[in-house]
Amino acid sequence: MNLVLFIVVLVISFIVVRIGAIAFQLTGLEWSQAKFQALSCFTSTGFTTKEAELITGDKQRRRIASALIVLGHAGLVTMIATLANSLRAHEVIESRLSKQILPFHLPPLLVQLINLLIIIAAVYAIYKIFTNTKFAKKLTNTLRRKIIKKEIFRPVSFEELLLATGGYGVSRVAVSAGSPVLNKTLSRSDLREHDITVLAIVRNSETIPNPGANMKILLSDELICFGKLENIRNRICMNP
């Protein structure tokens, strides 16, 4: 029973980390970065100061990180307890094996070794399944659809490409219908007044580098900006 519980907790842990990665991505993080942040929070291994600013600077991400940290600690404690009990419960397993299959008693050390080998094989099998590209993609898409449908996390059209110090960084922002800068020229958008520099505009798959002050911002444009990330969210993203 303890062995089964260990495997169940392990499977749930993989799923929780995947959900956390999807949640981080929906808040605007790039996918590879979102996966790393989710795993870091769940395992409490931590991350660098620059990467921490991506989490602490956003309210929704802080909630996601907090949930992952709590669930990670609970999962770790459960797995350690069930693992210890699985290796200690040799009397129960030995008696079951003796009655059902074996005409003799197994040495306790041998039973513990068998349990350990079963656990290692289970961990390896689960790892291979969840890291399989096709399975991981299918699972991720299924979980993402459910999360968006239930509106657990609100997706944003904001991607942080590079984080500098002090909350400053380079970001890529899609201009939506509710954006405060829609249909305004760069000079009238007041972005420079808020210490935001538009490095390029991506329009219809074409990149316009160093756009002029009279360049008009259109619907579905993607602005590649440098500035304080909080200001970029407030000045370009859709108002809440």
Measured distance CA(111)–CA(115) in Å, rounded: 6
Of 34-43, 77-86, 100-109, least confident by mean pLDDT is 100-109
Q: Which has the higher per-residue pLDDT, 82 or 18?
A: 18
pLDDT at 168: 85
pLDDT at 46: 65
pLDDT at 77: 84
Mean pLDDT throughout 23-51?
78
pLDDT in tens, 143-192: 888 887 776 666 666 666 666 667 788 888 888 888 899 999 999 999 99
pLDDT at 91: 46
Strand 197-203 relative to strand 222-228: parallel, antiparallel, unpaired?
antiparallel
Among 32, 41, 85, 27, residue whose Cα is nearest residue 229: 27
* Percent of the chain with pLDDT strictly greater than 90: 22
pLDDT at 214: 93
Contacts with 7 (C-beta within 8 Å, 6 or more apart), sequence order: 122, 126
Q: Which of the four pLDDT bands, split at 50, 70 and 90, describes residue 210?
A: very high
pLDDT in tens, 104-144: 555 667 767 777 788 888 889 988 998 888 898 899 889 88
* Percent of the chain with pLDDT strictly greater than 70: 77
Segments making up each domain of the chain, as ranges: 2-149, 158-236
Contacts with 222 (C-beta within 8 Å, 6 or more apart), sequence order: 172, 173, 174, 175, 201, 202, 203
Q: Which has the higher per-residue pLDDT, 3 or 123?
A: 123
Name the CATH topology of 158-236: Alpha-Beta Plaits (3.30.70)
Q: Are 57 and 167 in contact (CB under 8 A)?
A: yes
pLDDT at 216: 95
What pTM was computed for the model?
0.60
Q: What is the dihedral of CA 92, 97, 103, 109, to 10 degrees?
A: -60
Task: Indicate whether 89 pLDDT > 80.
Answer: no
pLDDT in tens, 213-229: 999 999 889 899 999 88
pLDDT at 189: 92
